[in-house]
Amino acid sequence: MGYFLTPQVWKQAHQSMRCLGRARWRAQPLLFVLLMMTWCAGDSLPERFETARAFYVACFQKRRRPGTTIGGWQKALARVPTRSLRAVAAVVRARLQQVFASRWLVDGFIPLGCDGSRLQCPRSQELEERLGSKPKRKKGKDRNPAPPQIWVTALVHLSLGILWSWRLGKGSASERHHLVELLATLPRRALLIADAGYIGYQLLKNLVKNEVSFLMRLSSQAPLYTARRVALYRFREGVFYYWPQDEQKNEQPPIPVRVLRIRAPRRKDVWLMTNVFDAAQLPLTSASRFYRWRWRNEGLFRTYKRTLGKVKLMSRTVAMVHREAEGSLLAVQVLLAHGALTLPAATNVADAALPSARNTLLEIRAEIRNVTGMYLGPRQARTYRQRLERIRLDRRKNRRNKVRRPWPSRKDHKPPKPPRILRMGTILKDLAEKTLGIKLTG
């Protein structure tokens, strides 16, 4: 814990949590127990709280002991603003970038994948009123409303599989708006990788304005224009213009993009677009590998929901739901960083299998049991790092179909169709030259 939660992290936590005053729950035990409750095993919050508090007392025996009841801990946590937890997460991000500096860059970029998922919440009255959805009508009859949900949009370092930053919202929140808010957390030389659902004119305009490199999958919903004829049967890459009809009517300029076509044997071809126009800087092979890693975004949510049991959050108020989600996501970030410590430091092993998050969690729980059962001391505590280095890597081969068997009420995945590539007429060509201020050839 001290390797990532450095004294600078605790200093930032104390400065941002001054609202606690002289209560029994100070910033360090409050945040420590919040993280440990995500890792501890237990069917209820009180059970996890007892284990997490006992582990804190065993690790800091010379410190003042915190409160003994979960009610007091929840009241202290409710007084902490969520921006304070985000400030602590920002310091942890800086520490991660320092620890994994040798493996941070891959082919000159920092590959960060973006995706979102919904988290269910209990059906308490407060959550249903503020986070619930309206009931839908089907064939003249009212359907039961969906349970209260919150939406989490997360950025993941795809080479290391570590959670980088996140944003929370209601279950009906927009992923694109969350991504715009997350642009401030992107490091320099970041390459944003996303699926076809993130394509939108305003989002791409913000990315270009902030000089953020992106790599997104194309679908038939993305209209692309060109000033000359293109032979699609042998097309591999080229420059086009993303220009929806609504933006044409408002006389907005088109967005130049570089379109890549990745041939996939026995599957449909994958069409990608990027604002990195230099083929030497982002070749087709690197783009193909980066987008193939985007599946690790789904692996993050699988770890969070299934391995840590966060399919449904446990808190029953809006304030505690957001703090539980913020704390558990920070715990997942540190958990995945523990596993990434076992990876070799060389930069040419980016395709290596990632450590198993499940095995890392089992070693953490074993250490919690050992410390809470009997304080071991510094010499025996070093064995945790040795056990961590023997974690089995997750070398499972991906199947062609990620779904093992059909699930009820779940739609089958259909890959997006190829984009629509249209040729500009005289009117559109004149409008593009007027808005861009350049002469189009072809």
Contacts for 397 with CB less than 8 Å, ≥ 6 apart = none
Per-residue model confidence as pLDDT tens digits over 234-288: 888 899 999 999 999 898 999 999 999 998 777 788 999 999 999 999 999 999 9
Q: Determine the distance from the C-alpha atom of residue 265 to the mean position of all C-alpha atoms in its chain, rounded to a whole number.
A: 30
Environment class of 114 (CB within 10 Å of its CB; exposed 0-12, middle 13-18, buried 19+): buried
HEC string of 17-44 equals CHHHCCCCCCHHHHHHHHHHHHHCCCCC
pLDDT of residue 34: 94
Query: From the CB of residue 338, how many other CB atoms can be counted at a distance below 10 Å?
Result: 22
Distance CA 427, CA 402 (A): 46
Environment class of 149 (CB within 10 Å of its CB; exposed 0-12, middle 13-18, buried 19+): buried
pLDDT of residue 380: 47
Query: Rounded to 5 degrees, what angle do the CA atoms 406, 410, 415 make?
Result: 85
Per-residue model confidence as pLDDT tens digits over 80-131: 989 999 999 999 999 999 999 888 999 999 999 999 999 999 999 899 989 8
DSSP-based three-state secondary structure for 371: helix
pLDDT of residue 392: 57
Strand partners, 167: 153
Residue 355 has pLDDT above 70, yes or no: yes
Contact 58, 36 (CB under 8 A): no
Determine how β-strand 223-226 pairs with β-strand 420-423.
parallel
Contacts for 77 with CB less than 8 Å, ≥ 6 apart = 25, 30, 34, 320, 323
Contact 284, 260 (CB under 8 A): yes
In the chain, the percentage of residues whose pLDDT exceeds 70 is: 86
Q: What integer is the mean pLDDT of 357-362? A: 90
* Radius of gyration, alpha carbons of the chain: 24
Residue entry with tokens 């493996």: 103
Strand partners, 214: 192
DSSP-based three-state secondary structure for 329: helix
Strand partners, 226: 423
Distance CA 437, CA 423 (A): 19
pLDDT of residue 373: 67
Environment class of 307 (CB within 10 Å of its CB; exposed 0-12, middle 13-18, buried 19+): middle
Confidence at 349, pLDDT banded by 50, 70, 90: very low
Strand partners, 152: 117, 168
DSSP-based three-state secondary structure for 3: coil
pLDDT of residue 423: 83
pLDDT of residue 399: 55
3-state SS of the chain: helix, strand, coil percent to 5?
45, 15, 40
Residue entry with tokens 């890459």: 237
Q: Name the average pLDDT for the chain.
A: 85
Query: From the CB of residue 145, how many other CB atoms can be counted at a distance below 10 Å?
Result: 13
pLDDT higher at 379 or 429: 429
Q: Identify the DSSP state of 186.
A: P
In the chain, the percentage of residues whose pLDDT exceeds 90 is: 50
Pick the range with the lowest mean pLDDT from 43-47, 171-175, 426-430.
Answer: 426-430
Residue 321 has pLDDT above 90, yes or no: yes
Contact 61, 375 (CB under 8 A): yes
Contact 154, 125 (CB under 8 A): no
Environment class of 36 (CB within 10 Å of its CB; exposed 0-12, middle 13-18, buried 19+): buried
Distance CA 377, CA 396 (A): 37
Q: Pick the closest to residue 240 from 275, 216, 281, 268 (CA basis).
A: 275
Residue 381 has pLDDT above 50, yes or no: no
Distance CA 185, CA 90 (A): 8
Cβ-count burial 400-436 (b if 16+ within 10 Å, e if not): eeeeeeeeeeeeeeeebebbebeebeeebbebbeeee
Residue entry with tokens 């089992």: 362
Q: What integer is the mean pLDDT of 178-183? A: 96
